[in-house]
Amino acid sequence: MEIPHEPTTSQGGPRLESLPGLIWRRLRRHRLALVSVFILAVLIIISFGVPLFVSEDDANRLNLRAKLEPPSLAHPFGTDDIGRDILLRTIFGGRVSLRIGLLAALLSMAIGVSIGALAGYRGGWLDNVLMRFTDALLSIPTLFILIVLAQVFGRSITIVTIVIGALSWMPVCRIVRANVLSLKEREFAMAARALGSRDSRILSRHIVPNTIAPVVVAATLGVGRAIIIEASLSFLGLGVQPPIATWGSMLNRAQGFLVTAPWVAFFPGILILVTVLCVNFIGDGLRDALDPYAQN
Amino acid sequence: MSSYVVRRLFQAVPLLLIITFIAFGIIQSTGDPLAAYTVEASLTSDDIARLRAYYGLDRPLPLQYLSWLKNMLTGNWGTSYYTRENVVDMVLNRLPNTLLLVAVSYALTLSVAVIVGIATAVRQYSLFDHLVTGLTFIGIAIPNFWLGLMLIIVFSVQFKGAGLPYFPVGGMYDHRVGPSFGQFLWHVILPAATLSFVMTAQYIRYIRSSVIEQVHLDYVRTARSKGLTEIVVLGRHVFKNALLPLITLIALDVPNILSGTIVIESIFAWPGMGRLFWSAAERTDIPVLMATLVFVSTVTVMSNMLADLLYAVVDPRIRYT
């Protein structure tokens, strides 16, 4: 058994550790999460770094003399049906998929926190209306309404990001509302009110920071969900418009060559799997690291 | 109990109203339905105005919403822009196929998840347990369409190439053989396996932790100490208590599995509602899209309600007044 050592200062008393320091120290013990952070960092660096040196035209350049070539030294992931290099397209696709996943999760977190805090803090009819609206959105199967909205509003990267973010804030909203409901009755919130703080200040300085831990976990897991949703949309041919590569749209195209060129379908999919797996592990790690009741 | 049923039914009404409101809002933002005709030279502005009045498009929005809602309630959901077919008929024609696929998927999920979930809980921290836990992590992260493609590559393409019996890649039955139960089973296995994989992974994790929680409780010790065999203890006592909440889980998964049918039916050419929705989306066939949207949402609301009621019936500890 490992004996936890108490961090001490030169005076010998217990040292007050900064919150990020504490979280990082706890996260480090979660080995899978740590490995995931590393893998994800590599994926992000490649996806956003390579496009600085290679132009997108290279990823979209066709070469009809090298159609559906199996993986080789020249094309490590092989080529697709019009001779485009799958490795390059996977990298450029990763840039789009990761960006949509991260931004959509951020957006859903912002919406969820705002609506949840407002509903929980104000209560009354506003709470009722907002929560019934949340329930209604939760009752519409995600992919159905996403497809309709993407068809109606257009299929640029920005719109797909906004649509995914605007339709995945409901779980965060519920968590925040439930926490705010109990936090606003606590002594520190009452003290702030007694001191004459405005509601907006009480919410933003005192209440929301206290409920941020489960939100961070939910938002992290939301990144994985957003990536899968975007990929599903593109896979159905209803997401970001070609020729922009995304992991989903590459798989859509690969459907036609499952017999002759299975590798076309393999690599983009395995990257979605690895990315989402890493995000989920990091989410689990954060859940443990942010748990205020966990023993050090 | 009956007052609870009535109250629960009434709770569903505002929910359904909000859903129809959202749906109507989306239809409104698709723009002017007559926009295409304004550029057509054969129609004068007088004709357009008459069309507008005929379809009620000149009336204020709240009135348009109410008449749209009235049409939805009376089963008048409009006709497809493309096939001119009645939208309700289109959805109802495809519905049984989707329900069959969903039913087989749920059956597959539950039978696998219950057995594997209990087995891993009983053999906690064994090699088998670790293996399954690893698989469930992958199961939760895997995109279902990619899994479908990989299953096709292995079980249809490679098996066929190796001269083994292989699974068909599309449809509900072989057109040369015609519909039969055997054909259906043969064709449903791959799509149902794909559709249920993610769900199975989640359920295994849930059942495992739920059973582990239960086996340390007093009633299990009592059951064991009065000499019941482990099979009876698990099968009779733990099973009931650990799996009750599964009802809620199943109901909460209804929207997810319905979303899944869009993807799975389009990969495996399954002639169901999901595929209908997908082809309607490709052609921006708004009436079909909206009808399906409202329909699946209603199914979701109803299934949640049903789960609540069922829970109240099967769990005697819960009393609703």
Amino acid at A263: W
Model pLDDT, residue A92: 86
Residues A101-126: pLDDT tens digits? Answer: 999 999 999 999 999 999 998 888 99
Residue B281 forms contact with A (CB below 8 Å): yes
- Identify which of B137, B263, B289 has the shortest CB distance to residue A148: B289
- Sort out which chain B residues have CB atoms less than 8 A from A141's CB and list them: 255-256, 258-259, 296-297, 300
The residues that bridge with A275 in the sheet, in sequence order, are: none
- Exposed, middle or buried: residue A98 (CB in 10 Å: 0-12, 13-18, 19+)? buried
Amino acid at A73: L
Model pLDDT, residue B1: 66
* Dist. CA B279–CA B283, nearest whole Å: 6
- Sort out which chain A residues have CB atoms less than 8 A from B98's CB and list them: none
CA distances from A291 to A89, A211, B13 (A): 40, 11, 39
CA distances from A72 to A77, A78, A86, A240, B200 (A): 7, 6, 11, 29, 37
* Dist. CA A172–CA A186, nearest whole Å: 21
Q: Do B300 and A132 touch (CB under 8 A)?
A: no
Interface of B with A in 238-267 (CB under 8 A): 255-256, 258-260, 262-263, 266-267
Model pLDDT, residue A19: 72
Please give the structure tokens belonging to residue A174. Answer: 């519920």
Does A95 have pLDDT greater than 80?
Answer: yes
- Sort out which chain B residues have CB atoms less than 8 A from A272's CB and list them: 143, 146
CA closest to B260 among chain A residues = A143
To the nearest whole Å, the CA of A154 is away from the closest chain B CA by 10
Q: Do A148 and B152 touch (CB under 8 A)?
A: no
To the nearest whole Å, the CA of B19 is away from the closest chain A CA by 6
- Are the C-beta atoms of A227 and A245 separated by less than 8 Å? no
Model pLDDT, residue A2: 47
* Dist. CA B150–CA B136, nearest whole Å: 17
CA distances from A279 to A69, A220, B206 (A): 32, 7, 20
The DSSP annotation for B212-234 comes to HHHTTSHHHHHHHHTT--HHHII
Model pLDDT, residue B34: 62
- Mean of pLDDT values over A24-31: 78
Please give the structure tokens belonging to residue A100. Answer: 């949509």
Does A204 have pLDDT greater than 70?
Answer: yes
Amino acid at B22: I
The rounded radius of gyration (Å) of the Cα atoms in chain A is: 23
Interface test with B, best of A97, A139, A227, A260 (most B CBs within 10 A): A139
* Dist. CA A55–CA A207, nearest whole Å: 46
The residues that bridge with A14 in the sheet, in sequence order, are: A8
CA closest to A140 among chain B residues = B297
* Dist. CA A272–CA A226, nearest whole Å: 11
- Identify which of B153, B263, B301 has the shortest CB distance to residue A139: B301
Interface test with A, best of B146, B160, B257, B293 (most A CBs within 10 A): B146
To the nearest whole Å, the CA of A78 is away from the closest chain B CA by 17
ipTM of the complex: 0.84
* Dist. CA A134–CA A175, nearest whole Å: 12
In which element (H, E) is residue B16 found?
helix B2-29
* Dist. CA B44–CA A229, nearest whole Å: 45
Please give the structure tokens belonging to residue B30. Answer: 């698709």
Interface test with B, best of A30, A36, A148 (most B CBs within 10 A): A148
Peptide bond into B143 cis (omega under 30): no
- Sort out which chain A residues have CB atoms less than 8 A from B296's CB and list them: 140-141, 144
SS3 at position A15: coil
Model pLDDT, residue B35: 63
- Sort out which chain A residues have CB atoms less than 8 A from B266's CB and list them: 236
Residue B71 CB neighbours (<10 A)? 12
Does A149 have pLDDT greater than 70?
Answer: yes
Model pLDDT, residue A227: 92
What angle separates helix A170-183 from helix A124-139, to the nearest 10 degrees? 150
Tell me which residues of chain A have a C-beta less than 8 Å from any C-beta of chain B: 132-133, 135-145, 147-149, 151-153, 224, 228, 231-232, 235-238, 248, 251, 254-255, 258-259, 262, 265-266, 268-269, 272-273, 276-277, 280-281
Cα B309 off chain centre by: 20
Please give the structure tokens belonging to residue A147. Answer: 């497809």
Interface of B with A in 122-181 (CB under 8 A): 137-138, 140-146, 149-150, 152-153, 156-157
pLDDT by residue, tens only, chain B of 321 residues: 677 778 878 888 888 888 888 888 887 776 666 666 666 666 777 777 777 777 667 777 778 888 878 887 887 777 777 778 888 888 888 889 999 999 999 999 999 999 999 889 888 888 988 899 889 999 889 999 999 989 888 888 888 777 777 777 777 777 777 777 778 888 888 999 999 998 999 999 999 988 888 888 888 899 889 988 888 888 888 888 887 888 888 888 898 899 999 999 998 888 889 999 988 888 877 788 888 888 889 889 988 888 888 887 777 777 665
Model pLDDT, residue A292: 66
Does A6 have pLDDT greater than 60?
Answer: no
Residue B15 forms contact with A (CB below 8 Å): yes
Please give the structure tokens belonging to residue B118. Answer: 């209990």
Residue A232 CB neighbours (<10 A)? 26
The long-range contacts involving B74-82, CB below 8 angstroms and separated by at least 24 positions, are B77/B287, B77/B290, B77/B291, B78/B287, B78/B291, B79/B287, B80/B280, B80/B285, B80/B287, B80/B288, B81/B283, B81/B284, B81/B285, B81/B286, B81/B287, B81/B288, B82/B283, B82/B285
SS3 at position B84: coil
Please give the structure tokens belonging to residue A119. Answer: 């509903």
**Which residues lie closer than 8 Å to B192 by C-beta, 6 or more apart?**
B101, B104, B105, B108
To the nearest whole Å, the CA of B258 is away from the closest chain A CA by 7
Residue B296 forms contact with A (CB below 8 Å): yes
SS3 at position A216: helix
* Dist. CA B190–CA B182, nearest whole Å: 14
The DSSP annotation for A79-132 comes to B-TT--BHHHHHHHHHHHHHHHHHHHHHHHHHHHHHHHHHHHHH-HHHHHHHHH
**Distance, first Cα to last Cα, chain B:** 6
- Sort out which chain B residues have CB atoms less than 8 A from A238's CB and list them: 278, 281-282
Amino acid at B253: D
Does A1 have pLDDT greater than 50?
Answer: no
Model pLDDT, residue A164: 92
* Dist. CA B297–CA B258, nearest whole Å: 10
* Dist. CA A59–CA A85, nearest whole Å: 7
Q: Please state, rounded to an integer, the average pLDDT across all residues of chain A.
A: 83
The DSSP annotation for B235-250 comes to IIIIHHHHHTTHHHHH
- Are the C-beta atoms of B261 and B253 separated by less than 8 Å? no
Residue B289 forms contact with A (CB below 8 Å): yes
Backbone angles phi, psi at A10, to 5 degrees: -65, -25
- Sort out which chain B residues have CB atoms less than 8 A from A265's CB and list them: 146, 149-150, 153
Please give the structure tokens belonging to residue A96. Answer: 């789009």
To the nearest whole Å, the CA of A197 is away from the closest chain B CA by 36
- Are the C-beta atoms of A242 and A98 separated by less than 8 Å? no
Virtual CA dihedral for B124, B125, B126, B128, nearest 10 degrees?
80
Virtual CA dihedral for B71, B75, B79, B85, nearest 10 degrees?
-170
pTM for the whole structure:
0.86
- Sort out which chain A residues have CB atoms less than 8 A from B290's CB and list them: 148
Residue with tokens 């969900």: A225
Closest-CA residue to A134 (of A107, A161, A150, A116):
A116
Residues A7-27: pLDDT tens digits? Answer: 444 454 556 667 777 777 777
The residues that bridge with A85 in the sheet, in sequence order, are: A79
Q: By percentage, how much of chain A surpasses pLDDT 90? A: 21
Q: Do B296 and A142 touch (CB under 8 A)?
A: no
- Sort out which chain A residues have CB atoms less than 8 A from B278's CB and list them: 147, 236, 238
Residue B314 CB neighbours (<10 A)? 11
To the nearest whole Å, the CA of B199 is away from the closest chain A CA by 14
- Sort out which chain B residues have CB atoms less than 8 A from A277's CB and list them: 137-138, 141
- Are the C-beta atoms of A205 and A181 separated by less than 8 Å? no
To the nearest whole Å, the CA of A23 is away from the closest chain B CA by 23
Does A189 have pLDDT greater than 60?
Answer: yes
